Chain A
Amino acid sequence: MNQTIRSHTFEETYDAYSGAVYRLAMVYLGRRTDAEDITQEAFTRLLYRAPDFHGEDHKKRWLLQVTANLCRDQLRGFWRKRVIELEDSLPAAPSEELEALSAVMGLPEQYRLPIHLHYYEGYSVSEIAGIMKLGQSAVKMRLKRGRELLKIELEGL
């Protein structure tokens, strides 16, 4: 069965998960060109260096984990501009949506990723712990602290 999973069209996998990968990179890096580079690198890793997947969920989690690691490396790079030009990278959208995006993407790095993975991607604490290679207690703490820092109503409709 692994052979079948591997022979799925690469394009199909890209279509299924590129949005999640790109959005995570945007949340982390805040700049379109950086997010594109990270997306490209993540899918290159998928093509050439992917492990055996236990299913589509595993594949998506692996892609997001690779993306998070790549973003972390990028943030640590000395060449990265420290000024994030958020406004230029956000889509045309109603003001309340832009404010919500800016609020989450303006959080410190360690909080915005778990917030995005939990409230947008719908991952549980244990799944986020796996993606971010953190303990579950650390994820819970970051979610709690991130919620406190946010000015938006996270559970609201």
Chain B
Amino acid sequence: MNINDYRRGMDKIVPDTALKERIMNQTKRTYTPARRVFTIALAAALSVTCLATAALAASPELRTAVLSFFRMEEHEQVPSGSVSPDGPDLSQADIGELVKAQYIKMDSRRYGFSNGLLTDLTWDEDWKTLQDAKFWEPRDGELVPVEVDMHTSKVDITFRDLHYQGEFYWYVRDGQLDYFSGDHRAWDEEGEHAWDWNLSSVPGRADVLLLRLSTGTQMDYTEYPFLYHLDTGEAEDILAGTGADKLEYAYGWDWSENMRRAIILCDNRLGMSQTWFCDLDAKTLVQVDELADIEIYTAAFADNDTLILHSSTIDESGVAQDVACYSYDIPTGRIIQTLGRTPYYRSWEEGSSGVEMSGSRCVLISEDGQARAVDLKTGAQTLLEGLTFHQNDNLQFNLSGNRLLYFSMDSKTDGLGISQIGVADLEKGVFFAFDREGYENLHEGGIGWDDDSTVSIRASTLDNKTQYLLLYQF
């Protein structure tokens, strides 16, 4: 008996496949109707007018547009080969006249890509201080070194008796802010309780960041945001007076685009969850399922004045089985149903049909594989005609919700094995995809939108010695 016996035995300890289904189901669940806290204390702060005018209006007549799918004749030849010893390099290809591809080869996973630049950051041993930063811009088939005006800002704030401190780094280029921060976790002397801070960008703003102060780990985690002004270093308590600072175990914050309203997800280790709606101007805080006479599961912003309310049937183990959606106009309280009750699509089950949610939008997959994109604010549907959706297919909205990334995966490969990729442009009314050749020579680890028109794939060679970033401009 030796350690290899242990390794072989341990290899046989694998999670049951039913666990995967349980967890995948749970990813649909962000809210479980449960005990309401703070209700009495906060009731006085509610806008009575807002609630009194809430009414369930008739569903709108659903409109359906049609996008016809076409498969491009041109194929992509996926790159392969080792990285140059001189550092990262770039090659490019035009795929038909519709897609421009750029392939960046790197010798390490340490490179990042943000704000349109390839980054190589060097941190100190504690991952707190940025020691060096290099940037390249993919331009005209080359990686061109770029200098940025990097600034250093300090976080030094005491909140709920905890002192948060550290530095972060940022620059503005072509009006776009990018930032970098290391590891700032701090622990008490016993190593039991941790506190941390992180940053998020604010859409359309290059002068502020959202500073998120957190404490606790796992089930005790709670978070509170401040607006950090880069010019002064001031951390502004934008939720002051709303009562949101009294929420316990607030872990998820979703903001309207103008940052004047927020959805706050709260949870605790006893499994009691609440979803709150906070209006910074009216200084009100209310549980989302009190906005309407409907049991609400979770919510998302469609725009500054519109919430999409999700109502689900929960099974006895707390897993959401289906969803119906309502568009809630915040100023008037008017509600319209925009999606009838529909079971969730289960990607891990062959032949599944149902709905894949994406905040204020969703994709409907029918039993015969027809796919429709749905705008949950209006209920308007777009049929993706000519596409038969299979188990290994995927559709992802971009941030603006006006384009859908389509990709198909080859289940015989170790990585994603993306055999076909394309885009449905809901505004321009086009839907196309192209086949990829040679994808099996790379281990593709991830795919997604980088911005509203750029899709990226992270990959490595099968020996893991060369990393690839594949960028597609649609």
Interface, chain A (partner B; CB < 8 A): 1-12, 14, 18-19, 22-23, 26, 32, 35-36, 39-41, 43-45, 47-49, 51-52, 54-57, 66, 69-70, 73, 90-94, 96-101, 103-104, 116, 119-120, 133-134, 151-157
Contact A156-B2, Cβ < 8 Å, known A66-B217, A97-B8? yes
Which residues of chain A are within 8 angstroms of B416 by Cβ–Cβ distance?
Answer: 9, 12
Closest B residue to A102 using CB positions? B9
Chain B contact residues: helix, strand, loop or mixed: mixed
A22 to B19, CA, bound (A): 10
Name the contact of A9 in the complex, choosing from B22, B114, B394 (C-beta under 8 A).
Answer: B394
B360 to chain A, nearest CB (A): 16
Contact yes or no, B2 A152, CB < 8 A: yes
Interchain CA distance A151-B19 in the complex, whole Å: 33
Across-interface contacts of A7 in B (CB, < 8 A): 396, 446-449
B38 CB–A CB distance under 8 Å = no
Residue B270 lies at the interface, judged by CB distance under 8 Å to chain A: no
Residue from B1, B30, B109, B112 in contact with A100 in the complex, judged by beta carbons closer than 8 Å: B1
Interface residues of B in 1-57 (CB under 8 A from A): 1-10, 12-16, 19-20, 22-24, 26-27, 30
B residues at A contact (CB < 8 Å): 1-10, 12-16, 19-20, 22-24, 26-27, 30, 109-110, 112-114, 119, 127, 187, 191, 196, 198, 217-219, 221, 251-252, 265, 347-348, 394, 396, 416, 445-450, 456, 458
B218 close to A41 (CB less than 8 A): yes
Offer 15 A-B interface pairs, CB within 8 angstroms, sorted by A. Answer: A4-B448, A4-B449, A4-B450, A8-B445, A9-B416, A41-B218, A91-B12, A100-B9, A101-B9, A152-B1, A152-B3, A153-B1, A153-B3, A156-B2, A156-B4
- Nearest chain A CB to B448 CB, angstrom units: 3
Say yes or no: B221 contacts A49, CB within 8 Å: yes
CA distance A11 to B447 in the complex (A): 13
Known: A66-B218, A104-B6. A26 touches B13 (CB 8 A): yes
Inter-subunit contact A1/B265 (CB<8 Å): no
CB-based nearest B residue for A22? B15
- A3 to B456 Cα, complex, angstroms: 10
Are B191 and A133 within 8 A (Cβ)? yes
Q: Does A91 lie within 8 Å of B13, measured CB to CB?
A: yes
Q: Do B448 and A40 touch (CB < 8 A)?
A: no
Given contacts A4-B456, A51-B198, A120-B7, contact A56 B445 (CB under 8 A): yes
Pick the contact of A44 from B14, B15, B23, B109 — CB < 8 Å? Answer: B23
Asked if residues A70 and B218 are in contact (CB atoms below 8 Å), the reply is yes
Contacts A22-B14, A96-B1, A96-B5 known; list 8 others, CB within 8 Å.
A4-B447, A5-B458, A7-B447, A22-B15, A48-B265, A70-B218, A100-B2, A157-B4
* 5 closest cross-chain pairs (CB), A and B: A7-B448, A97-B9, A156-B2, A8-B446, A100-B5
Contact A56 B14 (CB under 8 A): no
A151: which B residues are within 8 A, CB to CB? 1
Chain B residues with CB under 8 Å of A1's CB are 112-114, 119, 450, 456
* Cβ-neighbour of B6 out of A19, A44, A57, A101 (below 8 A): A101
Q: Is the CB of B6 within 8 A of A120?
A: yes
- Note all chain B residues with C-beta closer than 8 A to A134: 191
A77 to B218, CA, bound (A): 15
A90 to B: closest C-beta gap in Å: 7
A12 to B447 CA separation, bound complex (whole angstroms): 11
Complex Cα distance, B1 from A157, in Å, reads 10
